[in-house]
Amino acid sequence: MSQTPPPATPSHAERGFDAYAIQTKWQALWAEHDPFRAGGDDDTRPRKYVLGMFPYPSGDMHMGHAENYAYVDTVARFWRHRGYNVLNPIGWDSFGLPAENAAIQRGSDPREWTYSNIAQQKESLKHFGTSYDWSRVLHTSDPEYYRWNQWLFQRLYERGLAYRKESPVNWCPNDQTVLANEQVVDGHCERCGAEVVKKKLTQWYFKITDYADRLLDDLNQLEGFWPQKVIRMQRNWIGRSIGADIDFEIEGRDGVVTVFSTRPDTLHGATFFVVAPDSDLAAELVAGADADVRLRFQAYLDQVQRQTEIERQSTDRPKTGVFLGRYAVNPINGERLPVWAADYVLADYGHGAVMAVPAHDQRDLDFARAFDLPVKVVVDTTAPVTGAIPVIDVDDEGVPLDPDGALAELDPATTGVALTGDGRLINSGSLNGLSKRNAIARVIEELEAAGRGRAAKSFRLRDWLISRQRFWGTPIPMIHTEDGRIVPVPDDQLPLRLPAAQGLDLAPKGTSPLGGAEEWMATTDPETGAPARRDPDTMDTFVDSSWYFLRFLSPGDDTEAFSSRLADKWAPVDSYIGGVEHAILHLLYARFITKVLYDMGLIDFTEPFATLINQGMVLLGGSKMSKSKGNLVEFAASMEDPGADASRVAIAFAGPVEDDIEWEDVSTTGAQKFLARAWRVAKDVASPTDVVWAEGDTALRRVTHRLLADAPGLVEQTKFNVVIARLMELVNATRKTIDTGAGPADPAVREAAEVTAMILDLFAPHTAEELWEILGYEPFVGLVPWRQADPTLLVEESVTAVVQIDGKVRATLQVPARIDGAELEKLARADERVARALGDREVVRAVVRPPKVVSFSTK
């Protein structure tokens, strides 16, 4: 973006206040003096690491991005004023699909698009007045960065945390690529709309499930520091269930099939057995079946493979399935259970098979009713669960009598509603009479004793699929040898650089474009020197962003990924600021990698982000700003008009940080007027710079000092809009003192103007620097320590109120100047002299004019 001055419309130079000239001037001075670099080892101030989620270099920066940069800058500037050595770096998350797609369209190299967008964004950010430490810029697509992704991959591989497996993945037949679950919308590809299918592929995974318990339990540490909503989303995503693994035999088959159940207490109520149709077990079981069963199964499997996991999990669909002609044996009572294949059982949850208990599980009940399978109630949910174990009257067959018919009325086979609540076990041999909880404990004991089961947990969390069949990413540093081994590229050969894009077909075709880079693919086995092939896939870009906050501590270091010594000093990040769209995956992956690095002994903390701030979205016409919808206010354009400071103030003033902002409701004109008013106040200050601060108009001084005292708490609670409202109040009070009070030479006026400049720096740094200079100081106000509030000025001013009864003054009271009417009347009535004067006369009218008069009329 060019900085040629636009025409001087009134918005640029409102009565002498030329916002554009001011921002240009200060940006040049910041560029020259670089005042916002983090202090080095000899800096003795306490440290704060402030980080905004780093941008992707797309070409369409709009006010939604601006909002994030503005808030990050406010927080960074705040801590500098508070006396901290602040680290506030910026970098680019610069690998990924949009660059590759742009390259395909233009027949160019993704590098060109990426780095020219980065250059443009850098310029824009500088014109926004952000106080980054520009000496630490990193780009994840630089080999100097992605080398360390490869290093990280090797470390995970050594620890058994990076592995390859074949599994069904979401596949977009049009884009010819794997999709993450969240890229599948209603069964269609989020990008191109094609119907997504399941396909079996061999891919690299990171074993995040090994950390599932810790990822869940450590969320407790973040309570109160992360938004509650994000913590809840993380918990749900990890989804821990507690229960038991139970081993079933299948007639005519060796070995056992294990199922996971959260309700092992209902084991006696199992009436059939279900396997996922796309599991290996289903294929195995059907192999020996009749031709007719095999045909029906195959047709069913084809149908199932066209669905997404989300469709499969939705409960409001008719149940479908195929009987496989086999029987499982209930390990606790030897009953034969018909084995079905049905799509409501997922291949990759638990063990891909379930014991079906239709009386107590809704999905099983729906299935049983659809296929006419038996329903057996084993928990009497009408029985109280507290108190002693009741004596249950049973009939000759051990079935409990149900004298009032309460249980019979609830029979799931007829009502269609499964009994999922707590109660007392029935029809369950040794478990009879126990409550659900006790029955679970007992049945686990019995299964353990018999060697047929054990306590177990299951997680919704899946391992992290990191392979991508795309060009613009970190090459996976593994080698496939001729004799079928897979070996790491040795550390001293890293980075394994991407080849040039020229001559490669980047178009999606199901295999990575790198496979076509013949020279690049050909390598040698590091152990034997025999010819070998590289791995053609690249890594998910979430790998890049899982540890970048550590790289900012020593971005130019080519000897290690990051410095443990510096991590001890700076990390974890104190304030991490970004959009809620990253509430799940990015944060989860960064938390996982942090724990791995902790286990490697490289860092001494287990959570990467001590506090998290999620800003809301910026909307235009009710929907999120986006290029594809054509509803955006461009970031670069708004730097010129209304200017960086007015945009920033308007955004921060629009509402609480976490709320969405409708750009149509944002008043940049109001913000411009406010800044011009503050500037004119500074111009009017006539007292010398060396006046004694503790003098002058007391009312104005109280406004100034209350703001000094309150602003830090408000900023820490991210109530930026309130701080701006209070600043406006201060500027107005100063103006009033200049025009109608003690005048421009009053020391209190100077004091107020100086405090305005310092606090305004959080939101409108160019204007703040200008005010500071007008007030006679050397730059930079951005480095000025926070002024201490004078405690004596914080005490509420008190005034004398008179209390009249029927026109006669009966008492005077000292009350706070800001008292409200109700409180004043209460104090008046409570006063002893007033009470005495009133006696038992009834008050018919009370006129209250806070803070000075209360007047009672009596009968």
Q: How many angstroms separate the CA atoms of 524 and 534, rounded?
A: 9
Strand arrangement of the beta sheet that strand 85-87 belongs to: 85-87, 47-52, 573-579, 609-615
Decide: is 273 part of the binding site for ligand ANZ (CB under 6 A).
no
The one segment of 344-352, 574-582, 602-610, 795-803 that binds ligand ANZ by CB under 6 A: 344-352
Selected binder of ligand ANZ within 174, 241, 320, 858 (CB under 6 A): 241
By CB neighbour count within 10 A (0-12 exposed, 13-18 middle, 19+ buried), where does 774 fall?
A: middle
Selected binder of ligand ANZ within 78, 349, 653, 674 (CB under 6 A): 349
Decide: is 360 part of the binding site for ligand ANZ (CB under 6 A).
yes
Decide: is 261 part of the binding site for ligand ANZ (CB under 6 A).
yes
Decide: is 307 part of the binding site for ligand ANZ (CB under 6 A).
no
Q: Print burial letters for 818-854: b (CB count within 10 Å at least 16), e (below 16).
A: ebeeeebbebbeebeebeebbeeeeeeeeebebbeeb
Decide: is 357 part of the binding site for ligand ANZ (CB under 6 A).
yes
Q: Is 82 within 8 Å of 76 (Cβ atoms)? A: no
Beta strands 336-342; 272-275: pairing state? parallel
Selected binder of ligand ANZ within 30, 69, 226, 260 (CB under 6 A): 260
Compute the least distance from the CB of residue 282 to ligand ANZ, in Å. Answer: 12
Q: What are the residues whose beta carbons fall under 8 Å from the beta carbon of 140, sequence distance 6 or more?
A: 91, 92, 93, 94, 95, 146, 149, 541, 544, 545, 548
Decide: is 718 part of the binding site for ligand ANZ (CB under 6 A).
no
Residue closer to ligand ANZ, measured from CB, 364 or 607: 364
Beta strands 379-380; 321-329: pairing state? unpaired
Selected binder of ligand ANZ within 338, 352, 747, 850 (CB under 6 A): 352
Q: How many angstroms separate the CA atoms of 511 and 522, rounded?
A: 16
- Whether the bond between 264 and the residue before it is cis, its omega within 30 degrees of 0, is no
- 454 to 493: interface string for ligand ANZ, x by CB under 6 A: ----x-----------------------------------
The one segment of 71-79, 219-227, 325-333, 353-361 that binds ligand ANZ by CB under 6 A: 353-361
Q: How many CB atoms lie within 10 A of CB 665?
A: 10
By CB neighbour count within 10 A (0-12 exposed, 13-18 middle, 19+ buried), where does 791 fall?
A: exposed
The one segment of 329-337, 348-356, 507-515, 615-623 that binds ligand ANZ by CB under 6 A: 348-356
The one segment of 149-157, 259-267, 290-298, 475-483 that binds ligand ANZ by CB under 6 A: 259-267
Decide: is 702 part of the binding site for ligand ANZ (CB under 6 A).
no
Compute the least distance from the CB of residue 457 to ligand ANZ, in Å. Answer: 9
Compute the least distance from the CB of residue 398 to ligand ANZ, in Å. Answer: 20
The one segment of 13-21, 141-149, 175-183, 261-269 that binds ligand ANZ by CB under 6 A: 261-269
Decide: is 354 part of the binding site for ligand ANZ (CB under 6 A).
yes
Decide: is 263 part of the binding site for ligand ANZ (CB under 6 A).
yes
Decide: is 851 part of the binding site for ligand ANZ (CB under 6 A).
no
Q: How many CA atoms lie within 13 A of 99 on its CB side?
A: 25
- Whether the bond between 642 and the residue before it is cis, its omega within 30 degrees of 0, is yes
Count of residues interacting with ligand ANZ (CB under 6 A): 18
Compute the least distance from the CB of residue 240 to ligand ANZ, in Å. Answer: 8
The one segment of 262-270, 571-579, 623-631, 664-672 that binds ligand ANZ by CB under 6 A: 262-270
Decide: is 237 part of the binding site for ligand ANZ (CB under 6 A).
no
Compute the least distance from the CB of residue 232 to ligand ANZ, in Å. Answer: 17
Q: What are the residues whose beta carbons fall under 8 Å from the beta carbon of 682, sequence distance 6 or more?
A: 753, 756, 757, 770, 771, 774, 775
- Interacting positions 670-699 with ligand ANZ (CB under 6 A): none
- 9 to 48: interface string for ligand ANZ, x by CB under 6 A: ----------------------------------------
Q: How many angstroms separate the CA atoms of 329 and 461, rounded?
A: 30
Compute the least distance from the CB of residue 375 to ligand ANZ, in Å. Answer: 12
From residue 633, alpha-carbon distances to 67, 129, 521, 664 in Å are: 12, 18, 45, 10
Residue closer to ligand ANZ, measured from CB, 264 or 495: 264
Read off φ and ψ for residue 112, nearest 5 degrees.
-60, -50
Paired tokens of 541: 């870009």
Q: How many angstroms separate the CA atoms of 105 and 387, rounded?
A: 72
Q: How many angstroms separate the CA atoms of 598 and 591, rounded?
A: 11
Paired tokens of 236: 């749900």
Decide: is 319 part of the binding site for ligand ANZ (CB under 6 A).
no
* Sheet strands (E) in 64-219: 85-87, 91-92, 138-139, 162-172, 177-179, 184-185, 188-189, 197-206
Interacting residues toward ligand ANZ by CB under 6 A = 241, 260-263, 266, 276, 345-346, 349-350, 352, 354-355, 357, 360-361, 458
